[in-house]
Amino acid sequence: MTADADADLNTMTHAELLSAARAMRHAIRTHRDTSMHELCWHHPDMWALLPDPPTGGQIVPDWPQFMRGCIRYRQSLDKQLAQAPRSAREFGE
């Protein structure tokens, strides 16, 4: 990230800054409030709120590494959301 990645904020009006903050809060809440299988999905809407593209592009892991990451992510939910209800519903149901 370059030092001036947020330089556009200096030229925004108060109303534009409020609008940007509201859009970011909406995207964060949408991501936060995902549930079930949606937790695993890529959420580009938040990234689209930034004026600059990601440097170097996205790197997608190969399947074995991806699946190990999914398992670790799900295990982290057992710790971070230990009291959350569980569901046996399959993807697409």
Supply 38's token pair: 């949606």
pLDDT given at position 42: 79
pLDDT one-digit tens code per residue, 15-48: 999 999 999 999 999 888 988 888 877 788 888 8
Distance between CA 38 and CA 49 in Å, rounded?
A: 20
pTM of the model: 0.71
The arithmetic mean of pLDDT across residues 1-26, rounded, is: 90
9-13, 55-59, 73-77: lowest mean pLDDT where? 55-59
Residue type, 35: S
Residue 1 predicted with pLDDT over 70: no
